[in-house]
Amino acid sequence: MNLHISCTDRTREALRRIADAGAEGARIFTRVYADSALTAAAAADARTAAGITLGPLDGRIVSIKDLLDVAGETTTAGSKVLRDAPPAAQDAVVVQRLRAAGAVIIGKTNMTEFAFSGIGINPHYGTPGNARDASRIPGGSSSGAGVALARGMCELAIGSDTGGSIRIPSAFNGLTGFKPTQARVSREGAFPLSFSLDTLGPLADDVADCARADAVLSGQPWQPLGQRRVAGLRVGVPRGLLFTQADAQVLAAFEAALSDLKAAQARVDDLALDELLGAPFRLQEKGTLIAAEAAHVHAALLAAGKDDELDALVLSRLRRGETIAAPHYVGVQQARAALLPRLDAALADYDILALPTVPVIAPTIASLDDEELFHRTNMLVLRNPSVFNFYDLPAVSLPLPRAPGEMPVGLMLVGQRNADRALLAVAAALEQFLQR
């Protein structure tokens, strides 16, 4: 949207787009805050007229994922089984920070039930169609977030990312998504999936907006990103496992970008990191941290016998989590703690790792009716981004250039832990370079 137009007019336009989408709008948003959004927009316009600003998101239209608490409302986390739960006593910390920064919160976006899938299918509230081709999946679990942003129903979207749930819908819908280092953004008031791996972050149209949102979400003072040059950038490419089972269009787009970087005198090295990058999968063959922790989160629900009220695809993963033995869970956590510094050391000489965000373009919704194919596709879609949740490294997904009619492809850039702004600065330089 044109930011030179008043916030009130931009908010009205976003609300019109949601309303005009009809039933699809209801699949994208679980709640729309029309009245309060227009009130907040008018206040933002008044501040602008008075020469006052509350920060980098003042007057920006923002959606929030359905797992974030809003005072006085029940947090349903994409599930109808929670619709009668007690209302939230207060806003989630990130929602408090958005309001204090003058953001206009336009609504809550749909998601995979309990955030437990990278596909984005929801049998309770409906599945939003991909913004570039509505017959295809939106990506999850922040499905509504990606589609709402790509369809101009908001200007930024706040999602969560446990195994790729910000980066996957960003890649599939042609957006930019940022998963921070876990400790950077408070998760207080966000319905959990995995205590060990959950993160909160933005989806946006560009890196600059991701950086603005990151400043607000993390409670940091806003400063413009430092300038980086492509020439001399140290880029590691982890050839091997994370490039397997990839669509030809994905590989072609990635290799074209890599060739351009080399021509611009970036230092690009192929790295043999499969021992480390494959470790999360080997360690979790008998059960994942996410499944074990999700089963704990939902223990009371699972004991209550409400299986028929849950998405069967989510329920099967929760039930699997119940079977994970405590020694296995502890062993994975111990092994993870030992692995983190090893990958840190392997990446110390590089500014970023670069690889496809997701190895495939978005498949059709209808093609995943088969449960076995759904689970295989879900594992493949989550594979690349989930590695960097396991290693708690910040990561950005950038949209790669594409020909007319082609589905979007994402380029994932991975930085060093707690060097989030350094990663965003590199991502901004690469974004400008790729869009030239």
Q: What is the CATH number of the domain that holds 377?
A: 3.90.1300.10
Is position 314 within any domain? no
Same domain, 57 and 141: yes
Residue of 79, 117, 165, 170 with catalytic role: 165
Same domain, 246 and 139: no
Question: Dihedral, CA atoms, 355, 361, 366, 372, nearest 10 degrees?
Answer: -30
pLDDT at position 82 is: 96
Is position 335 within any domain? yes
Cβ contact 258:268 at 8 Å: yes
Tokens of 293: 């922790």
pLDDT at position 202 is: 99
Residue of 63, 65, 79, 160 with catalytic role: 65
Beta bridge partners of 353: 236, 414
Angle at 170 between CA 31 and CA 429, to 5 degrees: 130
Same domain, 257 and 369: yes
Among left, alpha and beta (phi > 0; psi -120 to 50; other), residue 55 is left
Is position 228 within any domain? no
182 burial (CB, 10 Å; 0-12 / 13-18 / 19+) is buried
- 141 in catalytic set: yes
Question: Dihedral, CA atoms, 162, 240, 357, 202, nearest 10 degrees?
Answer: 40
Cβ contact 169:139 at 8 Å: yes
pLDDT at position 208 is: 98
Same domain, 30 and 172: yes
Same domain, 402 and 277: yes
| Side-chain-side CA neighbours of residue 228 (13 Å) | 21
Beta bridge partners of 270: 237
Residue of 141, 142, 160, 194 with catalytic role: 141
Same domain, 214 and 243: no
Domain count, the chain: 2
Same domain, 375 and 277: yes
pLDDT at position 1 is: 76
Same domain, 90 and 207: yes
- 165 in catalytic set: yes
Is position 225 within any domain? no
pLDDT at position 436 is: 81
Among 187, 218, 249, where does a domain finish? Answer: 218
Evaluate the CA torsion angle 282, 287, 291, 297 in order and state its sign: negative
Same domain, 39 and 156: yes
Round to the nearest angstrom and report the end-to-end CA distance of the chain. Answer: 21
Is position 248 within any domain? yes
Tokens of 90: 């207060």
Among 169, 186, 218, where does a domain finish? Answer: 218
Q: By C-alpha distance, which of 45, 412, 367, 57 is closest to 212?
A: 57
pLDDT at position 44 is: 98
Same domain, 156 and 78: yes
Is position 345 within any domain? yes
Same domain, 174 and 242: no
* Boundaries of domain holding 89: 7-218
- 135 in catalytic set: no
Is position 394 within any domain? yes
SS3 336: helix
pLDDT at position 3 is: 86
Is position 296 within any domain? no
Same domain, 204 and 108: yes
Among 186, 218, 250, where does a domain finish? Answer: 218
**Residue type at 406?**
E
SS3 274: helix
Contacts of 370 (CB under 8 A, 6+ apart): none
Mean pLDDT by 10 residues, the chain (436 residues): 92 98 98 98 98 98 98 98 96 98 98 98 98 98 98 98 98 98 98 98 98 98 97 98 98 98 98 98 98 97 93 96 98 98 98 98 97 96 98 98 95 98 98 93
The DSSP bridge pattern shows strands 267-270 and 234-237 to be parallel
DSSP 8-state class, residue 174: T
